[in-house]
Amino acid sequence: MYSRIDLSAEISKVIAETTGRKHPDWITEAVMRMHKPPEGSDADFYRFGARAYVREAVAAQLRRVKLSADVVPDSQLVLEGFERLQKEYLVEEDGAKVSIPIEEMTDAQLMDKHAELRAMGAGCYLHADEIVRYLAWRHESDNSRASGSHPEN
C-alpha cells in the first residue's frame, strides 16, 4: 500500500534531481507523472485531490529551508565554511515559495534575506523581553493577591 513515506521519498528524489530553482508546481507535476492517472467518471476529482495533496507535501518539504531561529541549524542546509548561511533559501516568485540555491540568488534577493533575518531577530528579542515583562507582571499580581490588596470576593 502506497503511503505518505513513499510520497515523501518520491518528492525527495525529484528535489535531489532538480538543479537550480525548485518550484513546488514543477516538482508536483514531476511526481504526478510518476503515476498512472485514474480513469472513469470520477477521474478528474481524484486527479484534483491527488495533485492538491502532493502539492502540499512538496511545499512541506521545501519549507525545510525556511529561515529558522534554531540555536543549532540543520547541518545539511548550511553552506560549507559557514555556521548558519544556507545552501538555498525560499524566495517568493509569482505567488509561490520557490527554493533557490544561494549561488543563483541575486544580490537584491540576498539583501532581502538579510533584512528578513534582521527583522526576525528584532522580533525575537522583543518577544523574549515581553516574556520577562509578563513574568514580572504575573509575579506582581500574585504578590498583590497574596497580600490581600486586591479583594476578589
Q: pLDDT by residue (tens digit) across 28-75?
A: 999 999 999 889 999 999 999 999 999 999 988 887 766 665 566 667
Question: Nine-digit cell at 71?
Answer: 540555536
For residues 120 and 94, membership in a common domain is answered with: no
Q: Chain centroid to CA 104: how far?
A: 20
Predicted confidence at residue 53, as pLDDT, reads 95
Please count the structural domains in the chain.
2
Which residue has 490581600 as its cell numbers? 148
Type of residue found at 90? L
Average pLDDT over residues 102-129: 94
Same domain, 49 and 35: yes
**Co-location of 98 and 148 in the same domain:** no
Residues 48 and 93 grouped into a single domain: yes
Task: State residue 73's pLDDT score.
Answer: 64
Identify whether residues 14 and 66 lie together within a single domain. Answer: yes
| Half-sphere exposure in the Cβ direction for 9 (13 Å, CA) | 5
Q: What is the CA radius of gyration of the chain?
A: 23
- Let me know whether 150 and 95 are in one domain: no
Residue 105 has pLDDT above 90, yes or no: yes
Same domain? For 121 and 151 the reply is yes
Same-domain check for residues 89 and 120: no
Range of the structural domain that residue 64 is part of: 1-104
